Structure 1
Amino acid sequence: SEKALEEEKEALLFFGCRSAAQDDIYKEELRRFQRVGALTHCFSAFSRDQPEKVYVQHLIVEQKDLVWRLLQAGAVVYVCGDAAKMAPDVRAAFRQVVSHFAASESAATDFMERMHEDKRYLEDVWG
């Protein structure tokens, strides 16, 4: 519908795995999603493809301006992956972004708590 087109939202993906050559099994699908506009931004972190490891949480902080703009616009965050290390590190990266832009640490805490309460920060984690 016309209204749906007017309300088109951005979709941002931070994707991480060990190696592009071995683990990037959705590369073609993600490119297709970008071509058709279903995915507006895609950032990939391959932790073993360079001497210094790069993880999704590094890219989140690196893209803080974009992340903050989308969070301010009501973005919903879905985190999927390892519960032991990845999920807490990603949560900390989002907290770092919010803290960078928030007026105070208490405002950052409130913002993150509201995201959880409003089901705008969701985790599907395992391990």
Structure 2
Amino acid sequence: MHLLVVEDDDIVRMLMVEVLDELGYKVIEAEHASAALRILEDPGQQLALMVTDVGLPDMRGEELAGKARELRPLLPVLFASGYADSFDVPEGMHLIGKPFGIDQLRDKVQAILGKP
């Protein structure tokens, strides 16, 4: 099961990838929205979930999620935001507030993907 992690902070991205990898997921990394879009546009790349930062340098996370849904209408999206209290989650999408613990990330991803 492949997950796409879109995060411009190298350390945060590395930690997310490490946690998800330890949980048995195959993780594809993108440090900005344009790299994520190239992955999303590849029909051969199967994805079960996109985890994206809200504040990316080249595009807002909400805009990226909208484009992702145009390309892959059923793709679940999990936003990670340091401003979770003031973020309006688009319908059918999910949110985790930064900073988050390893257990919180695991539980959120497993809940979205329907894993115990």
The TM-score normalised by the length of structure 1 is 0.39
TM-score normalized with structure 2 length: 0.42
Pick the structure with more helix per residue.
1
